[in-house]
Amino acid sequence: MKAATVNELKDELKHLPPAKLLELCTRLARFKKENKELLTYLLFEAHDEQGYIKSVQNDIDINFDELAKGNNLYLLKKSIRKILRSTNKYIRYTGSKTAEIQLLLYFCTKLKQSGIPITKSTALTKLYQQQLKKINTVLPVLHEDLQHDYLRELEELSI
């Protein structure tokens, strides 16, 4: 089965009555956890972006606190990638460039403060530098005052 394009779906959804639309949304939420999380964000948290960012930062804190401490670098890398994956998922839900920069900066700050030897692992170094690069590409879209503030934070994070 070939999936319809977003425009085709949008056009078709315009013609549906509200009751049918509600039925489709609840059915969609049943099938995948990400769909349910996105609907939760859109319905309950989208109006308070700063509150949402704080809750994601708390989630990042909890995940970094639960990191497998020790000498097993493989488990550390795997856990850090998992934290980054969930952070990127939360960023996709917002669709906001400001939220993206704030959460990526927070992730990089937590990673640097964690005491994990980033420079001893090529994979971790590349992962960290890739996030800094991602921040740099999003930065020009923001207002000049915000750019200045975030650039200062970014300079502190560079290895």
Higher pLDDT, 154 or 105: 105
Rounded average pLDDT over 35-57: 92
Q: Is residue 75 part of a domain?
A: yes
Q: Is residue 84 part of a domain?
A: yes
d(C-alpha 86, C-alpha 80), whole Å: 10
Q: Is residue 136 part of a domain?
A: yes
Q: pLDDT by residue (tens digit) across 116-126?
A: 888 888 999 99
Q: Is residue 17 part of a domain?
A: no
Domain span at residue 71 reads: 49-157
Contact 81, 34 (CB under 8 A): no
77 contacts: CB under 8 Å, gap ≥ 6:
121, 123, 124, 127
**How high does pLDDT run on average in the chain?**
90
Residue 97 is predicted with a pLDDT of 93
Q: Is residue 142 part of a domain?
A: yes
Q: Is residue 4 part of a domain?
A: no
Residue 115 is predicted with a pLDDT of 85
Long-range contacts of 31-35, Cβ-Cβ distance < 8 Å, separation of 24 or more: 34/89
d(C-alpha 144, C-alpha 110), whole Å: 25
Domain count, the chain: 1
Q: pLDDT by residue (tens digit) across 60-118?
A: 999 998 886 666 888 889 999 999 999 999 999 999 999 999 999 999 999 999 888 88
Residue 71 is predicted with a pLDDT of 67
118 contacts: CB under 8 Å, gap ≥ 6:
111, 112, 124, 125, 128, 159
Q: Is residue 124 part of a domain?
A: yes
Q: Is residue 61 part of a domain?
A: yes
d(C-alpha 34, C-alpha 122), whole Å: 31
Contact 21, 13 (CB under 8 A): yes
